[in-house]
Chains A and B, each alone.
Chain A
Amino acid sequence: MKISRRKMIQATAAAVSLPALAKALSPSPKPLFFTPAEFALVDEMSDMIIPTDQQSAGARAAGVAAFIDARLAESFEKDQPERWRAGIKAVEALSREMHGKTFMASTPEQRLALLTRIAAAESDPKSDAEKFFGVIKSGTIRAYYTSKIGIHDDQQYKGNVIQPGEYAGFDAT
């Protein structure tokens, strides 16, 4: 017997009662922590890190920037949001240095050139912009692969279902 995902969500929904909180943290058109310009950069860069491909939609469709924004807005540790803000500043400075304009005002090719440059030092980042690549990449991974799109469309995760009969897998023979 197969239980559809929708049914499973309905079944579990009974156990969850945080509607007010969920509403407060749901993606909203106006960012909660980022400025609109910062939000646009995070949204674009996250979607470059995990883009749409033949299998599944990317980070933008999965609402990665909105999740990061909501978490930073309520962060108890102030160094977290500061790190993001400083990193974005460093990226903008590098963008002006490389292309004479902001990241979002750059062409897609120019944005790719910048991202490629800061990603090249991934294993040993030195500058603030290079360090920001690690920050936004891990934030994107965390948010994307816990999203509906990441779990179901991209990973096509088969678990978290009820197996009323035989368990899946192989016998220890």
Chain B
Amino acid sequence: MLTAFRNIKEEKMTLIRFRASPEQDVDLSRTYDAVVVGSGAAGGMAAHVLTSQGMKVLLLEAGKKIPIEQELRSMQWPYDHPRRGDAPPGYHAIRFNEYNIRKPPYAKGSAFKHVFSYVGGWGGSDYVKNILVDEKDNPYTGTKYAWVRARLLGGKTNIWGRLALRLSDYDFKGKTHDGYGEDWPISYADLEPYYDKVDLYLGISGHKENLPHLPDSLFQRPNKLTAPEVKLRKSLATMGRTLTPYRAGVTTDGVKNKYRSKCFGRGACGRRPGGCDIHAAFDSPTGLIYPAMDTGNLTLRTNSTAHEVLVDPNTGKARGVSFVDSQNHRTYEAKAKVVILAASTLESARLLLLSKSRQHPNCIGNSSGHVGHNFCEHVMGPGVTGLVKEMVGAPPTLDDGKPGGFYVPRFRNLQDKQPGFVRGYGFEGSSGFGLFPDSAWGTPGFGGQFKKSVREHAGAFISMGAFGEVLARYENYVDIDPEVKDAWGIPALRFHYEFSDNEKKMCEDMANAGKEMFEAAGIEVVGVDKNILTEGWSIHELGTARMGNDPKTSVLNQFQQSHDVKNLFVVDGSSHVSASCQNPTWTIMALAWRSCEHLADEFKRGNL
């Protein structure tokens, strides 16, 4: 099959091996040990752990399997693309204003042939037009929400931002620390060995900082900083704060995996939505699923949209799932001894809420009434842009040959207590020369002077934007819309979700703190953004089926196992008790690893 790159001397650039499409001959007459719904970070991890323990697993993915390298074309120059990266006419990405002025379903009544979430307009929609869902086929209703979904093998891991952070006991024991919400039923010590396993199996790049609130991973070599970032790092250190190279879920030294290459610092990941066509950045198919298939224990069926967890009428236990084939629109049953949901925080909640039976009239696993509730995420928008004067006129350097810029971990409400809000936020930022001189948009005038100014300033800017913890609140929830259905006749999800005063106050602080940090470093602040982006923008939705020790106030136990139905597990972000302000993917995978190890033990003992 096609490979995007030739081998470059002794360095092997790519080792991609395509498999034949396996789903045609999937045997649905047999009862699998486990069926996993969803093939993203959580589902891929479940498949990896369970198959390595010898269990026979059927993995259902709602989307298709596509030759992803041909979609991503990571090193394609803009001028080698007929539309310089844009999608063909008739494709539309929802704009910020549309999210806020209109109500979902956003594609309703649209004249465009295809409508995508805002990510479709971010740096080149032609590269994600077959990755993101078409909003026309996948409506949702209720309050405004920028819901980004990727239906294909691997889900959003195909285009994720790759910032791979650990949580700490400031997160797991947040209630103990500040009195708000609920503690997780685990502590950092419980999860640390599994974070280590994820680090070693998938590879992570970063620099050790010894911070109690952002534990270090087992890092491969870090990415480098630019001169302005070194300057800011030094200044922040005097304030007791940290700027660290982007902790990327990217293997920089390589891992033992024939489907993945190490990172060669090509840098296209910084200018397009995520994707890495040599799979140095983690994605679920090459990192987890293909190796799991090589064990002989994994069966994959794509184009399979689960819409109900099936229940044994005698025992009330799960006996499998019902799914629609998205190509032929027929409904099938997959039978399994254990059912594992990993369809994403919101899709897993939708699937639980759709699974009503005589035994579970309030939907499966919902005796607590908490399914769909305590929905949380990260709030973003506020940020700051600065001009580093000594960089004006500096000769161009290679600044963007890396998966991300820098990260400033949380510094609020650790030792201090902020008057306006609880919890905290971190900043993601970048600086230096990029493929496109963004400052051209704001440079006034025209002609030789304009052109010279753009050139001289191209590498002189630094910017960062914050990601803050949205508090988990029972009142923020999703349920099933009584009328609207998707293209396959499955009832749509309905949102009842908005930011609280805590988030708004936190956002004010983000903008001020960002400005102060730049000024303290001697960076001229040229822009302060105070606007809060639409709910959902961070693509970090969490917490619709939270874990807990008390079955009355939580859906899952500490092993992501339903309190009510012991052979039902939900191993994705829906299990998170609070959002933290750290990006969730690495925690999703560490938790899934821990739970699935437990699951396999229990399965072998006959306890499920």
Q: Which residues of A contact B (CB under 8 A)?
A: 1, 3, 8-9, 11-18, 21-22, 24-26, 48-51, 53, 55, 58, 67, 71, 74-76, 115, 119, 122-123, 137-138, 141-143, 145-148, 151, 154-164, 167-172
Contacts and interface: CB of A to CB of B under 8 A. Distances in A.
A161 B401 contact: yes
21 contacts: A12-B77, A16-B80, A16-B81, A18-B81, A49-B450, A50-B451, A51-B447, A71-B83, A143-B84, A147-B79, A155-B433, A156-B395, A158-B399, A160-B435, A162-B13, A162-B266, A163-B266, A168-B401, A169-B226, A169-B402, A170-B227
A24 B82 CA distance: 9
A167 B82 contact: no
A167 B224 contact: yes
Contact of A155 (B69, B88, B266, B396): B396
Contacts of B91: 76
Contact of B401 (A26, A167, A171): A167
B9 interface: yes
B441 A138 contact: yes
Interface string B66-80: 000110010111111
Contacts of A14: 2-5
Contacts of A75: 89
A141 B82 contact: no
B402 A11 contact: no
B296 interface: no
B28 interface: no
Interface range on chain B: under 10, 10 to 19, 20 to 34, or 35 or more?
35 or more
A22 B76 CA distance: 14
B22 to A, nearest CB: 24
Interface string B550-588: 000000000000000000000000000000000000000
A25 B83 contact: yes
Interface in B36-79: 69-70, 73, 75-79
A16 B13 CA distance: 18
Chain A contact residues: over half helix, strand or loop, or mixed? loop
Nearest to A158: B398
B222 A172 contact: yes
Contact of A146 (B13, B79, B244, B458): B79
Contacts of B441: 138, 141
B552 to A, nearest CB: 47
B264 interface: yes
A146 B451 contact: no
B416 interface: no
Given A1-B8, A141-B441, 4 more contacts: A8-B75, A53-B451, A146-B84, A160-B435
A169 B79 contact: no
B464 interface: no
A58 B440 CA distance: 15
Interface in B99-126: 112-113
B227 A11 contact: no
B230 A170 contact: yes
A2 B450 CA distance: 32
A9 B435 CA distance: 15
A34 to B, nearest CB: 17
B458 A155 contact: yes
Contact of B11 (A8, A160, A164): A164
A35 B343 CA distance: 52
Contacts of B329: none
A146 B75 contact: no
A169 B225 contact: yes
A112 B440 CA distance: 21
Interface string B447-480: 1101110110010000000000000000000000
Contacts of B434: 159
B224 A170 contact: yes
Given A53-B448, A167-B402, A12 B80 contact: yes
Contact of B225 (A17, A147, A170): A170
A170 B89 CA distance: 42
B89 A74 contact: yes
Contacts of B77: 9, 12, 148, 151, 160
B79 A168 contact: no
A130 to B, nearest CB: 13
Given A159-B433, A170-B226, A172-B244, A15 B76 contact: yes
Contact of B433 (A8, A15, A119, A158): A158
Contact of A168 (B13, B85, B397): B397
Interface string B1-40: 0111110110101000000000000000000000000000
B361 interface: no
A24 B437 CA distance: 28
Contact of B112 (A51, A76, A122): A76
B265 interface: yes
Nearest to A46: B446
B146 to A, nearest CB: 21
A15 B447 CA distance: 37
A31 B230 CA distance: 49
A9 B73 CA distance: 12
8 shortest interchain CB distances as A-B pairs:
A169-B224, A163-B265, A146-B78, A76-B89, A158-B398, A168-B398, A49-B446, A25-B82
B452 A53 contact: yes
B9 A145 contact: no
Interface string B213-241: 00000000011111101100100000000
A12 B2 CA distance: 12
B207 interface: yes
A155 to B, nearest CB: 6
B267 interface: yes
B279 to A, nearest CB: 14
A159 B4 CA distance: 18
B396 A16 contact: no
B179 interface: no
A151 B9 contact: no
Contact of A162 (B2, B8, B446, B450): B8
A145 B437 contact: yes
A170 B227 CA distance: 7
Contacts of A15: 2, 4, 69-70, 73, 75-76, 277
A25 to B, nearest CB: 4
A158 B229 CA distance: 18
B265 A168 contact: yes
B78 A51 contact: no
